Structure 1
């Protein structure tokens, strides 16, 4: 069996396995939209609490959700930067 044909066949098989599909791209877009929606809701709740004196419990809950969302985004960002730096350290 020709080794170059075998290599080409394995490369083609692995290329489809690592190719991004629409679902993963949509997952990142959906996560970003959820994050922005959480921030907007918290801002609206905070403005309502300051102007019309709405429920303070709702304000605390919205701020806790915002804090959790920001911590999650920062953790993901740190992991992406760490992975990028690891790639840069790879010998060529």
Structure 2
């Protein structure tokens, strides 16, 4: 049974979600766009560090660390791409 206290708590929890002028949560498309920008920034950082290592301005330890981070980012992007392709193929296999 729902008591008045439970209803008041639920109302106060939902109140901030419907308040006019409150910032909306980012959509999945915006999140995906931000992830793509973060990935591009990571790859640009790898290029800068690799160039610095070739010219002697960057230490080798930093180069190895940056390459390891970029490898993890690349594996994540490839895994996401594989999931998207798999979902697309599943949709194509659906009977109409």
TM category, shorter: 0.7 to 0.9
Q: CA–CA distance in 1 between the matches of 2:89 and 2:46? A: 34
Equivalences for residues 32-51 of structure 1 within 5 A: 32-51=36-55
Query: May I ask how many residue pairs the two structures share in their alignment?
Result: 72
Pick from 22, 27, 33: which aligns with 1:29? Answer: 33
Task: List gaps (5 residues or longer) in structure 1.
Answer: 1-20
Q: What are the superposed Cα offsets for residues 43-88 of structure 1, whole Å, 9 maximum, x if unpaired?
A: 1000000112421110001100111111011000000000000011
Q: CA–CA distance in 2 between the matches of 1:67 and 1:43? A: 13
Instruction: Report the equivalent of 1:65.
Output: 69
Q: CA–CA distance in 1 between the matches of 2:34 and 2:57? A: 32
Give the CA RMSD over aligned residues: 1.4
Structure 1 runs, 4 residues or longer, greater than 4 Å off: none
Structure 1 or 2: more helix by fraction = 1
Shift in Å at residue 30 of structure 1? 0.3
Task: List gaps (5 residues or longer) in structure 2.
Answer: 1-24
TM-score (structure 2 length as normaliser):
0.70
Q: CA–CA distance in 2 between the matches of 1:25 and 1:91? A: 28
